[in-house]
Amino acid sequence: MFHADYYTPEAQFRRAQMAHHYVPCDECGGTVCGFYAKGNEFCRYHHDDCASGELVDSKVLCGMCY
């Protein structure tokens, strides 16, 4: 997932992208994938461990709340 050096600019950029794509669940405040929260069928980071979620009646919900 990262280059051999954890601190290369590319590796740092990738980690920042991963952190910023998560959004809070409207019900419990848990972590939800931003792509699933927009109603997308697939996450562009689907090969990584991504917290699933869904857009339900214009509310972002995590797997526990929907």
pLDDT in tens, the chain (66 residues): 554 677 888 888 888 888 888 899 999 999 899 988 888 888 887 655 677 888 889 899 998 887
User: 57 in a domain, yes or no?
Assistant: yes
Q: Identify the pLDDT of residue 36.
A: 86
Q: Which residues of 37-51 are buried (b: 16+ CB within 10 A; e: fewer)?
A: beeeeebebeeeebb
User: 6 in a domain, yes or no?
Assistant: no
User: 10 in a domain, yes or no?
Assistant: no
Q: Identify the pLDDT of residue 59.
A: 92
Domain count, the chain: 1
Q: Identify the pLDDT of residue 28.
A: 95
**Tokens standing for 36?**
């699933």
Could you list the residue range(s) of the whole structural domain that residue 46 is in?
A: 22-62
User: 2 in a domain, yes or no?
Assistant: no
> C-alpha angle with apex 63: 36 to 40, nearest 5 degrees?
10
Strands (E), the chain: 22-24, 31-33, 53-56, 59-62
Q: Identify the pLDDT of residue 25.
A: 94
